[in-house]
Amino acid sequence: MPNTASIQHPTWLTTGDFTESSEPFQLFTSWFEDAKRSEPSNPNAMALATVDRDGLPNVRMVLLKGVDADGFVFYSNNESQKGGELVSNPQAALAFYWKSLDRQVRVRGSVMPVSEAEADAYFASRPRGAQLGAWASKQSSALESRFAFEKAVAVMTAKFGVSAVPRPPYWVGYRVVPLAIEFWHERPLRLHDRIQFKRDTPHGGWTKTRLYP
């Protein structure tokens, strides 16, 4: 058995004290870059929680496709279950967990659509197969068989031929504009670090609070 006490973490895991940070987006970007180097698959995976019309919560994994001072961006079919829930209640929560780093980030806030130009630009950057799949999939609807889906993809492949595949009108981007961002870092003996940033308005100043783990 290895002597775990002698294991050395990479310097980028232990340099600096994140609890001294005063701006959450810069801190998130730093942690996200660490995750890109450390996580074996999909460091941009995040749990997205929404609520339906009856108040029943829903959660699923989606991929972060952009982050800046305005918020966290992901894309989906607005005719899907999550799309319908975001129409009736445009609020959401996100959770990132990077096991290789023993770090978690939680986000809560309102949801706004990205611009048409931003959605067009991202859709154009997707692999062609993914573009065709977006046209073929009636996301969240009942599917009679896998063959039916593959047939729908084939139909769209023939329809667009070698021409550019445009963005479907129902394929949109969402931006979660946070009112709260919480950072958690595992420490020995469960004496973890937990820092919360909160603001009252989408473009207001941040208040930072250390929380009991």
Stated as kind and residue range, the H or E segment containing 148 is helix 146-160
Average confidence (pLDDT) over 151-168? 94
Average confidence (pLDDT) over 154-164? 94
**Domains of the chain as residue ranges with CATH:** 15-126+167-210 (2.30.110.10)
- Whether 4 has a pLDDT exceeding 70, the answer reads no
Buried/exposed code over 47-58 (b: 16+ C-beta within 10 A; e: otherwise): ebbbbeeeeeee
- Give 64-99 pLDDT, tens digit per residue: 999 999 999 999 999 999 999 999 999 999 999 999
Which pLDDT value is given to residue 104? 97
Which pLDDT value is given to residue 21? 78
111's tokens: 């949801």
Q: Which residues pair with 101 in a beta bridge?
A: none
Positions marked active-site: 190
